[in-house]
Chains A and B, each alone.
Chain A
Amino acid sequence: MPVPRLVPVLASVLAPVAVIAGAVIGVSLLIMAAGYDLPGAAHAAVAGSVGSSFAILSATLKRATPILMLGLAVAIAFRAGVLNIGAEGQFLAGAASACAVGLAAGPVLGRSSVFLELAVGATAGACWAGLAAVLKRWFSIMEVVSTLLLNFVAVHLVGYLIRGPLQEPSGSYPQSSLLEPAARLPLLLEGQRLHAGFPLALVIACLVWWFYRSTAAGFRFRVTGSSRAAAASAGLINVDAVQMQALIASGAIAGLAGACEVTGVTYALYDGLSPGYGYTAIAVALLGGLHPIAIIASATLFGALGAGADAMQRDAGVPAEFAAVAAALVVLGVLAVPSVRRFRLRTGGERRP
Chain B
Amino acid sequence: MNAEGLALELRGIHKRFGATVALNGASLSVRAGTLHALLGENGAGKTTLMHVATGLTHADSGELRFDGRPVRWRSRAEAITAGLSAVHQHFSLVPAMTVAENVALGGRRAWTRFSARTAAARVRTVAAAAGLSVDPYALVADLPVAAQQRVEIVKAIANDAPVLMLDEPTAVLSPLEAAELMRWLRGFVQSGRTVVVITHRIREALQYADAVTVLRSGRTVLAAAMPDTDEHAVLAALLGEAPTRQPPDASPGTPSSPTEPRQAVLVLRDMTVIGESGVRRVAPTSLSVHAGEIVGVAGVDGGGQRELLRVLAGRLAPSAGSVHLPDSIGFVPEDRLRDAIIPGLSLVDNLALRGAGSRHGRLRWPDFSAATRSAIRDFDVLVADQQGAISNLSGGNQQKFVLARELAGNPRALIVENPTRGLDVRASRDILERLRAIRAAGTAVVVYSSDIEELLSIADRIVVCFAGVVRETALDADVIGRAMVGAA
Contact = CB atoms under 8 A, between A and B. Distances in A.
Contact of A223 (B56, B339, B353): B353
A52 interface: no
Given A226-B344, A349-B19, A238 B339 contact: no
A216 B352 CA distance: 10
A237 B18 contact: no
A236 B338 contact: no
Nearest to B20: A352
A188 interface: no
A344 interface: no
B448 interface: no
B115 to A, nearest CB: 33
B345 A234 contact: no
Contacts of B17: 349-352
Contacts of A223: 342, 345, 349, 353, 356
A237 B357 contact: yes
B164 interface: no
Contacts of B357: 220, 235-238
A325 interface: no
Contact of B342 (A2, A230, A348, A353): A230
A172 interface: no
A236 B331 CA distance: 10
Contacts of A12: none
Contacts of B51: 353
A233 B345 contact: no
A152 interface: no
B255 interface: no
Interface in B354-376: 354-363
A210 to B, nearest CB: 10
Contacts of B384: 2
A91 B312 CA distance: 46
A140 interface: no
B434 interface: no
A233 B352 contact: no
Interface string A224-255: 00110111111111100000000000000000
Nearest to B47: A353
Given A235-B355, A350-B18, A353-B51, A230 B363 contact: no
A223 B342 CA distance: 8
A170 interface: no
A214 B342 contact: no
Contact of A216 (B338, B342, B362): B362
Contacts of B362: 214-216
A3 to B, nearest CB: 12
Contacts of B363: 213-216, 219
A219 to B, nearest CB: 6
A231 B345 contact: no
Nearest to A350: B17
B341 A234 contact: yes
Contact of A220 (B341, B344, B349, B356): B356
Nearest to B315: A233
B356 A219 contact: yes
A344 to B, nearest CB: 14
Given A349-B19, A352-B17, A353-B51, A230 B353 contact: yes
- Chain A residues touching B, range: 20 to 34
A233 B333 contact: yes
Contacts of B341: 230, 234
B291 interface: no
A223 B338 CA distance: 12
B306 to A, nearest CB: 12
A216 B354 contact: no
Contact of B360 (A216, A351, A353): A216
Contact of A234 (B56, B343, B353, B361): B353
A231 B353 contact: yes
B338 A231 contact: no
Interface in B1-30: 17-20, 22
B57 interface: yes
Contacts of B289: none
Given A219-B363, A233-B331, A349 B18 contact: yes
Contacts of B20: 352
A129 B179 CA distance: 56
A287 B340 CA distance: 31
Q: Which of A214, A232, A236, A349 has the most CB of B within 10 A?
A: A236
A193 to B, nearest CB: 39
Contacts of A234: 331, 339-341, 350, 353-354
B340 A233 contact: yes
B454 to A, nearest CB: 23
B57 A230 contact: no
Given A220-B357, A233-B315, A237-B357, A352 B22 contact: yes
Nearest to B360: A216
A215 B361 contact: yes
Nearest to A224: B356
A339 to B, nearest CB: 16
A229 B19 contact: no
Nearest to B361: A216
Nearest to A226: B342
B13 to A, nearest CB: 16
A191 to B, nearest CB: 43
Contacts of B360: 216
A309 to B, nearest CB: 37
Nearest to B313: A233
Contact of A227 (B18, B315, B342, B359): B342
A351 B349 CA distance: 24
Contacts of B359: 216, 219
Contacts of A215: 361-363
A3 B69 CA distance: 42
A37 to B, nearest CB: 48
A234 B406 CA distance: 9
B340 A230 contact: yes
A213 to B, nearest CB: 8
A229 B345 contact: no
A236 B355 contact: yes
Contacts of A353: 51, 56-57
Given A233-B333, A237-B357, A349-B17, A219 B339 contact: no
Given A2-B384, A214-B363, 7 more contacts: A215-B363, A223-B353, A233-B315, A234-B353, A236-B356, A349-B18, A350-B17
* Nearest 7 A/B pairs, CB to CB: A349-B18, A236-B357, A216-B359, A235-B356, A233-B339, A237-B357, A352-B17
Interface of B: 17-20, 22, 51, 56-57, 314-315, 331, 333, 335, 338-345, 349-350, 352-363, 384
Interface of A: 2, 213-216, 219-220, 223, 226-227, 229-238, 348-353
9 contacts: A215-B361, A223-B345, A227-B338, A231-B353, A233-B340, A234-B341, A235-B353, A348-B18, A353-B56
